[in-house]
Amino acid sequence: MSTNKPEAAGDSRTVVMVIEPEVLIRMTVAAYLRECGYKVIEGVVAADVWTVLEAAVRLDVLFCEVQLPGGTDGFSLARRLRQTHPAIDVILASGVAGAAEKSKDLCEEGPMEKPYKAADVAARIRVLLERREASAEKS
Amino acid sequence: MQPKSDPSSRGVLTPAKRLVLIIEDDFLTRYTAAEALREMGYLVIEAQDAAEAMSVFTSGTHVDFVFSDINMPGSLNGLEFARWLARQHPAVPILLTSGEPQPAEALGLGKKRHFMAKPYDLDEVDGWLRQMLLVV
């Protein structure tokens, strides 16, 4: 096995790409969606989506934060993607609560429904953010 | 020495539930390595730079192993992050990698720090993980 082979052959899971610039939200939402049975690709900026598509990796759903660094926000990315790749479903989310709520909606429609609540995902993200802030204040 | 995992022993060794934090600024390299390690059974968190990695640690998330690029944008490179990790979380091993020659500072780093040149084989990464974590 070597680098630059982005996708295993024969993987039939629905592929969700999560674009989220805040690492603690990204890792929590991605872990949650993986537990729901999705194959998840994590990205930070809009350009990561095009990198995936140019590498011929199949993408079924884009789960994207509205406010993104790098000049292209979630709305612009969604508009362009609908023109170039209309088969990809786009879900826009905003902030911790929005990400939790939208990921819960996705899980309910996913291949392995689990009894998660959006509030639990949001609470988990908030705890992580608060711990980080408390740690930063101490140092 | 570059340990390789023995594919025939995969059923015996148990990487499952070990959490690996990958720090890599190149999206495709990060995704490829993360996905391969997930297929091997590891839990993986992806960080694009040292600041994100520090954020993961300071959130209280338990990390078993760090696999980090050396040359990264941001306030700390991989070696500087390794020094921060040694001070703040001395029990967590780190495997450093780079497309540049091995820096002198990465030599003789002991049991908790090793260097592996790019391009790397992901089975080689798995081998280092097993050796440094003693996943048996």
What are the angstrom distances between the C-alpha of B72 and each of A70, B44, B47, B96? 17, 19, 11, 12
- φ/ψ of B9, rounded to 5, equals -100, 5
Q: Which of A44, A51, A131 lies at the smallest CB-CB distance from B58?
A: A131
Where does chain B have alpha helices with state H? 27-39, 50-58, 78-88, 122-133
Q: Residues B35-61: what's their mean pLDDT?
A: 96
Q: What is the tens place of the pLDDT at every residue in B85-119? A: 989 999 999 999 999 887 776 655 567 888 999 99
Dist. CA B61–CA B46, nearest whole Å: 13
Rounded to a whole number, what is the distance in Å from the CA of A117 to chain B's nearest CA?
21
- State ipTM: 0.85
Cβ contact B59–A1 (<8 Å)? no
Nearest CA in chain A to B39: A8
Residues of B in contact with A18 (CB under 8 A): none
Residues of B in contact with A40 (CB under 8 A): none
Whether B3 has a pLDDT exceeding 50, the answer reads yes
Taking the C-alpha atoms of residue B8 and residue B25, their distance in angstroms, rounded to an integer, is 33
Chain A interface mutation, best of B28, B37, B57, B123, highest count of A Cβ atoms under 10 Å: B28
Are B115 and B97 a contacting pair, CB within 8 Å? yes
Residue A68 has pLDDT above 70, yes or no: yes
What is the rounded CA–CA span in Å between residue A119 and residue A110?
18
Please report residues of A whose CB lies closer than 8 A to that of B122.
Answer: 1-3
Residue B63 backbone dihedrals phi, psi, to 5 degrees: -115, 130
**Greatest CA separation for chain B:** 42
CA distance A66 to A95: 8
pLDDT at B134: 77
Name residue, tokens 């040694």.
Answer: B86
Inter-chain residue contact B32 with A6, CB threshold 8 Å: yes
Q: Which of A4, A44, A131 sits opposite B48 (nearest CB)?
A: A44
* Nearest-angstrom CA–CA distance, B36 and B25: 17
